[in-house]
Structures are given as structure tokens and as C-alpha cells.
Structure 1
Amino acid sequence: MRDWFDVKDYGAVGDGTTVDTKAIQAAIDDCFGAGGGYVVFAGGTFVSGTIILKSNVYLQVNPSATLLANPDIGDYPDGTHYNRYINEKDMDKCFIYAEDAANLGIVGQGEINGNAESFPNEGSIYRPMMMRFLRCRNIHIKGVRLYNSTAWTTAFLDSENIWCEDLDIRNDRRYNGDGLDYDGCKNVFISNCKIWGTDDNLCLQASSKAYPMQNVHITNCHFTSICAGIRIGLKSVGDISNVVIHNCTFENVWREGIKIECTEGGSITDIIAQGLVMRNVTRPVFIILNNRLDTIGSSIGLAAMPEIGSMERIHLSDILATDDEEMNNTHFRFTDDMMGCPSFAGIRVDACDSHPIRDLTMKNITYTFVGGVKKEDIPAEYPKVWDMRYGHPGQVSENYYPTWSRATFMDIRNVERLVLDGMKFHALKEDTRDSYILENCKSLKEDITEY
């Protein structure tokens, strides 16, 4: 039985100029027809538009090979499934695509390059994502370098049994520069990955009740992001649960290190993040339980303002977060999209008075913040989280607002059964705001030291 299908045997040239899309797809189709195996790229730069990956087929990109996205958008047909954000529903182009397939993947030590500079920077459907898997099973992405996608690097949708290992992801030249995105997936294993991007490095979401996000393991990874490092939620129509984050580093993350947002009526429960080291992360932890329906960021299937969902059993421990002089600066995405500044920084947890977060533990966290903010330089009124189904003020506390913090290190509001144990705070510069604020927190255990 033949297991290896070299794309050059099908007429692929690999000279960096000739378009090899048809030859590559022919090799994949023959591999699938033969019962499966490896489609091999070696010794060249292979230019291609959309290729459809199939069951029992692995792409093997050898160290001597690059798979480069064709700059001609005409080589990317429709029908490779849309993004699930309301404001991005037309982004239906994709470089590598698989649907209803099993036992497939991409391996090797070579490079897949999205050729980002050849496409628009934002606001266009003519930006093919690097890879998307829809309703697939048993997916392995291992060892490859994933560079310069025009939008998200990966999207795994309604899929299960996914391994992403030993990946070098760099997506820092265009908007929507996500690294690993999972929506409605279960049994996900992520290890030994380095991710650098202009948007969230790693996302876990559930845009449908039919497909919960569950059983996720993230270990030994490094994150650098203009936006967030690890984001759990925002899209949370369905439930997200059973997530373990362990032994990871974060460096130069201009918004949040760990960001947990239950905003669309589902639940986020049973999350553990332990053994994290953060350097220059604007907000090491941000957690919010609320409800929203917005033209930016909400799920496509969300037609009306949802009830507030639930958030329970979140355990964050053994975290070192340290600022240096870099964090005196205001940081932007590209030219004018402000991401973070000293007055925006700090650990923040918030919820509606009538829908508190339950069973939150933060233990052994040492946070060295650059400081230097004067209380008189921030607004006196700090908005609350409201149930948005009913009357509310014009400005409310939500996922992207307010853009300042009322406490130097930590602000926690509306939590039942809150445990703070071994919390140590230090400011490099004098900061005249309250050091920390705990408001409407019940069954509180508190051990906080400022030095």
C-alpha cells in the first residue's frame, strides 16, 4: 500500500512563483482514494490557493519546504465556512480547509506562510484564514511554523480530539492575528507552542449550545500579544468547562494575560490556571460575568439579549506578574487602536449585583506593577455591570469599558465564596489610588500583603 505522495510527482514546481494548487489537491485526492497517508512537501516554496484536506490524510511539510498562500484571491473559492462573529460573518476564505473529516493533520518542521502582506489589512472578506477545521475528529497539528496569516491562523469549529503541539506561530502583521482558536470543541491538547500575534493568542469559545467547549489542556506554552494571551469566552452561548492551564509564560501582552468572559448566557466553570509567569502584561487577570449583544464580537446565532449566565469554580494560583519600565508606555495596535496604559492595568473581576461569580480562588499571586497613576487623573464615577435586558445607564462596566482602573493592583466586585490567599503586591512608582478594592464579596477569606 502506498503511504507517501510527493506533490512534485503531481507536477508541483515549488519555485515560489508557479501556482501549484491543482497539483497539491490532486496529491491529496489520490492519497485519500488510496486509503490515506502523507502528502509530502520538500525542497521548495509551493504556492497554492485553497486546498481541501480529507480523512486519513496528513500534510507533511519538511524543513526544506514552505507552503505559501497565493496572493491571487481568485484562487480561494467560497464555501469554506464563515467566521462566527457578527461583525466578521463574511470572512469565508481559507487557505487549508477540512469539513466532516477524521484522522487528519499537518506535521513536519517546515513553514506554512499566509503571505499577509499581499492582502488587505482589515475590513475585507478577501483575507483567507490560514486553516479551518469544521466538524472534524482526531486532528494533529505538530511541529510546523505557521507565519503571517492574513487573519486568524487556525479555527477549530465543532470538532473533537485535537492535538496542537510544538508549533511556532507568528501572526503580527495584520489585524485579527489570532493564533489558536477553538469554538465548540472537546478533548483539546495544546503543548509546547510559541504564539506571537496582533489579537488573542489562544481562544476557547462556545457560540452554540449544541457544541460545548470542554476538556482543554494547555501546557508549556509562551504567549506574546498586542491583545490577550489566553481568552476564555466572549462567545459563550454554550458552556465552557474543564480547562487546565499549566506552566506557561507571557511576555509583552498589551491587554490581558488570562481573560475570562461569560457574556452570552452560557456557563464557564471548572477552570484551573497554575504556574504562570508574566512579564509586562497590562492586566494579568480579567474576569467578567455579564450579558451583551453588540455589533462587534457577539456570536452570529445570538438574536436577542441573553439572560446572564453563570461562572463558577475558577482557581488561579502560583502566578508571578512583573512589570518593568516598558509598562510606563501607552501601547497601541498599529497606529491608533489603544490597547493598554498604566491607568488601565491591574487584576479585575466584575459581575452584576444580582448574578455574582461563585467560588473564585486566587492563591500565591505576586504582582509587581509599574504604578505611577494619580487618583485625581481618573474619573470619579466607576460604572457597574448591569443586566442589559432592563433599563441601564448609558455607560456600564463591560468587556471593553471602562478603560481605567479605580484600584492600583486589584478590583474585585460581586463574588460569592472568594478566597484570596498569599496575594503580594508591589508598585515600582507611587500610585495614589486605593491599593485594592473588594466590593460585595461574600464568604471572603483574605490574605493580602503590600510591600
Structure 2
Amino acid sequence: MLPILRNRFRYLLLTAIAVGLVSVSCKKKDEQSKADLAQTENVWAQADAIIEEIGTVTFQDSVFNINEYGAVADGTTLNTEAFKAAIDACNQAGGGKVLVPKGTYLTGPIHLKSNVNLHLDADAEVLFTTDKSAYLPAVHTSYEGMEIMNYSPLIYAKGQKNIAVTGNGTFNGQANSENWWPWCGAERYGHKEGEPQQKDEHNLPTLFTMIEDGTPVEERIFGEGHQLRPLFLQTLECENVLIQGVTFTNAPFWVIHPLKSKYITVDGVTVNSHGPNNDGCDPEYSKYVHITNCNFNTGDDCIAIKSGRNGDGRRVNIPSENIVVENCDMKDGHGGVVMGSEISAGVRNVFVRECTMNSPNLDRAIRIKTNTLRGGFVENVYVKDVEVGQVKEAVLKINTYYGIYGTQEGDFIPTIKNINLENVTVENGGKYGLLIQGREEKPVTGISLKNVSIKNAATPLKIENCEPINYVNTTINNEKYGEK
């Protein structure tokens, strides 16, 4: 553990012990209140320490304008080589800014290198070609929490340090009902009966078999002849990454995907993309992640913290941890801040504060989803100062029976504990205030609600296999839970 956090966690532990001794010896409400306050402040000091540990990313002042490397801003000329030449020159010179000036630029995949800041002017738009062959040869990437060799992500970096994508311009993946989306297999996204899609035997079923058989990643070759969509932006095994200010739209699949990466900042980004599996930001096997000042309006989860699927997640065995989400706005989506469903290596130490969530098309505010094939754990989740206008299904949903490919039962019972909501207000709670479905073998534990107000929930509570919830000054549909 890093020194700054080691000291803070040691302090938190000592404080917790002290709080326990005070409660046993004194039993006084005012003493306990002071102890609770100290404990709460120390929890959020951990979030501040994580942000401090992530630090900032800096670059040399050198500027490499893609137009000087042959780029043409007409929206039709393919500029893949111009992007590559500018990035290579910047990297070889020790780093700096690769500038995309005003205009519309068509390109194939963009591969970032160390010490390069890809910067879009406010009036710059990058269009990604619909020619699928441009995303070959296949690269080491992933699909739904499983590592594979597949079409290159639209923006990709592997094993790089000190990289950034910044500016106020737009990345347009040009995915739609005629490009990439039909492969999901849903008619509403353009799929036609009889055409190939991701659930066909040569796609996901083959990948599942490869994972069960222990096939090495380099031999899990997909890409051409297969129908597994590429990610929009993926950093694989990278350190010190900044994604700031830009807008992403029309994504083929997940949008921002730090994979096996650390020290990540996603700041002031807008994701406005309503295609299938268009998650906004999905840290996976990643640690020290700060997502702040962002706007998410998505076709799937706004933020989904992941850690691998089934056997592949257990093989990699890297939990996602030390993640702070703050000052973000979530509109459409399956969930605001979500953990899972690809969660086999576990998630811990997630802090969410000062966010807003509001849309008739937002299904849940906070969501945890897994099953006994995926297993994994979720622990130490803290949510504070969140305003929810409207959700469809639930304010907090914990589901250990999750499945979109039919029943998914196995031998890996998930562990979910220490989930805390504080100072959360909800105007329209949807079908359920709280919807918790734990397992009889291992109930959900350590759920705490403090100063939570949920209005207009059709059913206040639906709870199965969960230890008693700790309510403090909480109301659901104006009914009080816990003491002030």
C-alpha cells in the first residue's frame, strides 16, 4: 500500500478502535455522535487521499499539429497516417501536445504513446471510419470482461505512461443501426433476423469455451469474421492517464475503459451515446481512478466499475479499488454508479459524492450486480450528498441473481458488505426505494442509510437475504426509519 494511504488507513483503524471503546464505556449519545462524526470524516479523508495520490499529468510545451503531417479537415480524407505520424514525432521528441485544430477529420484507430497529449480544439471533430478493416490487425483488448484479440479500440494505448486526451472537441464513433450496433443482436439497434451477431456460436460461445479451456489470450483471436464490437477508448496496462473536456458520441460499445491501469483522471468529459452497451466509463482491474465534473447520458450504465468475468476475472485476479466519483451528472442509463456485472475479481473502496442523477430513463441510482458464476466481492462503498430527481426501478439495487444470458448459477457466492448512503435525497423513487436480493448462503451485510429521504417509491422496500439495515434519520414515503 502506498505510504500516504497506509498512514491514513492506520489512522482510520485506530479511530475505529477508539470509537468502539468509547461506546462501550460511556454509552452517551453526545459522545457517540462525536465518534460517528470523526469516523465519517476519516472515511472521506480516504477519498481526498486517493485524489492526492493520483496527482496530475504534465507534458512538454511542444506542439505537433496534425495538419503539418498531412491531415485534411474535409471529413472524407482518411487521416490515419497523419495521426500516427504526429503521435510518433511527439513521442520521439520526448512528448508534448498533438493538436487537432478546427475541422472535421476522418480516421481509423488512433494509438497513443507515452508522453503524448492528444488535444482537440473546440471546433474539432474526429470521425472514425465505418470501414471495419481499418481496425485490423487485431490487438490485445477485451469484451465484456474477457481478454481477447479483437478489432482495435477507436482510441487505444497499451503499456504507455503519461498520456492524455484533452480539449473541447468531439470524438464521433459513427456507430449506428447500420454500423457496429446490429452485431449486438437486437432489432431496435438494426439487427435483422438471420444476420450474424455476437451470440452466434463462433462469437461469445466460442470465447466462453476458450476461457473454460484456459486458452492463452494471444490465441483468442476474433476480429475479422466475428461480430464482437470494439471499445471506444481503452487504456490497457497504462499509468498516469488524463481524459479531459472532450465529448464522445455514437460509440460501438463501452466508451471509456481503463483496463489494468492506474492513476486515471476523467475530468469534465461528456458522454452522449445511446447505443447498445454504451456504458460511459468502466474502470476494470484498475485502481486510483478519479471521475469528476462529467456528464453522462448513455444507452447503458453511466459508470460501471468492473473486474473481469467468470474464470477470466479469477485468472487475472486484480480488484478494482480506490475510485472516487464526484460532481458528475447522470441522465439516461441503466444505472448511475454501478459495480458489476463483470466483477469476478472484486471491487473495494468506492467513494461517490456531490452528484446529481435525474431522468425518466435512468433505471437505478446505485447498483450492484453479480451472480454465482461471476462471484466476486463488493465492499466499502460510500455515497454522500447525492440528489436524485427520478429513477425507474430503485434508488439502491443489489442483485446477486443478475443474468442477461439466462440463468447463471455456479459455485462462487458473492460477498457484498459495507454499503453506505448518506445525505441522499430522492424525489421520485420508482418501483422500489431499496431492492436487495442477497443469497441465503451469504447475506448482504453492513448496509447503512443516514439522512436519506426517498419520496414516491411504489414499494418502499423489497429485501431478501440481507442483515438488518442501519437506518439513521431516514424516511421513505414520509415513513421514518431509525432515530434522529
Q: How would you bin the TM-score normalised by the shorter chain?
A: 0.7 to 0.9
Is the 8 Å Cα contact of residues 87 and 297 (structure 1) preserved in structure 2?
A: no
Say which is worse superposed, 38-47 or 67-76, in terms of deviation.
Answer: 67-76
For 1:267, the equivalent position in structure 2 comes to: 377
Give 5+ residue unaligned stretches, structure 2.
Answer: 1-59, 185-196, 198-226
Decide which of 263, 272, 294 is 1:161's aligned counterpart.
Answer: 263
- Tell me the distance in 1 between the aligned counterparts of 2:328 and 2:100: 27
Is the 8 Å Cα contact of residues 192 and 221 (structure 1) preserved in structure 2?
A: yes
For 2:214, the equivalent position in structure 1 comes to: none
Q: 1:151 to 1:367 in 2, by over 3 A?
A: same
SS of equivalent residue, structure 1 residue 236:
coil
- Tell me the distance in 2 between the aligned counterparts of 1:72 and 1:265: 38
Q: 1:24 to 1:87 in 2, by over 3 A?
A: closer
Cα drift, residue 274 of structure 1: 0.9
For 1:221, the equivalent position in structure 2 comes to: 328
SS of equivalent residue, structure 2 residue 440:
coil
Q: 1:370 to 1:353 in 2, by over 3 A?
A: closer
Counterpart of 1:217 in structure 2: which amino acid? V
Is the 8 Å Cα contact of residues 138 and 149 (structure 2) preserved in structure 1?
A: no
In terms of fraction of residues, the more helix-rich structure is 2
Decide which of 199, 204, 224 is 2:300's aligned counterpart.
Answer: 199
Is the 8 Å Cα contact of residues 336 and 362 (structure 2) preserved in structure 1?
A: no
The reply on whether 1:145 has 2:250 as its aligned counterpart is no
Q: 1:306 to 1:35 in 2, by over 3 A?
A: farther
Decide which of 417, 428, 431 is 1:312's aligned counterpart.
Answer: 417
For 1:184, the equivalent position in structure 2 comes to: 285
Decide which of 379, 382, 387 is 1:277's aligned counterpart.
Answer: 387
For 2:276, the equivalent position in structure 1 comes to: 175
- Tell me the distance in 2 between the aligned counterparts of 1:91 and 1:321: 42
Aligned pairs for 1:26-425 (under 5 A) are 26-85=85-144, 92-117=151-176, 119-122=179-182, 123=184, 124=197, 125=227, 127-172=229-274, 174-207=275-308, 208-209=313-314, 210-252=317-359, 253-263=361-371, 264-282=374-392, 283-289=394-400, 295=405, 305-323=410-428, 344-369=431-456, 371=458, 408-416=459-467, 418-425=469-476
Q: 1:289 to 1:127 in 2, by over 3 A?
A: closer
SS of equivalent residue, structure 1 residue 31:
helix
- Tell me the distance in 1 between the aligned counterparts of 2:144 and 2:232: 17
- Tell me the distance in 2 between the aligned counterparts of 1:162 and 1:206: 16
- Tell me the distance in 1 between the aligned counterparts of 2:137 and 2:407: 23
Q: What do you get for the CA RMSD once the two structures are aligned?
A: 2.7
> How many residue pairs get matched?
372
**TM-score between the two structures when normalised by the length of structure 1:** 0.76
- Tell me the distance in 2 between the aligned counterparts of 1:417 and 1:309: 18
Counterpart of 1:237 in structure 2: which amino acid? S
Cα drift, residue 127 of structure 1: 4.2
- Tell me the distance in 2 between the aligned counterparts of 1:234 and 1:116: 24
The reply on whether 1:447 has 2:479 as its aligned counterpart is no
SS of equivalent residue, structure 1 residue 152:
coil
Counterpart of 2:448 in structure 1: which amino acid? T
Give 5+ residue unaligned stretches, structure 1.
Answer: 299-303, 328-341, 372-407, 428-434, 437-445
Is the 8 Å Cα contact of residues 289 and 311 (structure 1) preserved in structure 2?
A: no
For 1:394, the equivalent position in structure 2 comes to: none
Cα drift, residue 88 of structure 1: 10
Cα drift, residue 268 of structure 1: 1.0
Cα drift, residue 426 of structure 1: 2.3
SS of equivalent residue, structure 2 residue 133:
helix
SS of equivalent residue, structure 2 residue 138:
coil
- Tell me the distance in 2 between the aligned counterparts of 1:198 and 1:90: 25
Residues 19-45 of structure 1, C-alpha deviation per residue, up to 9 Å, x if partnerless? 111111111111111121111000211
Residues 269-288 of structure 1, C-alpha deviation per residue, up to 9 Å, x if partnerless? 11101111111212111013
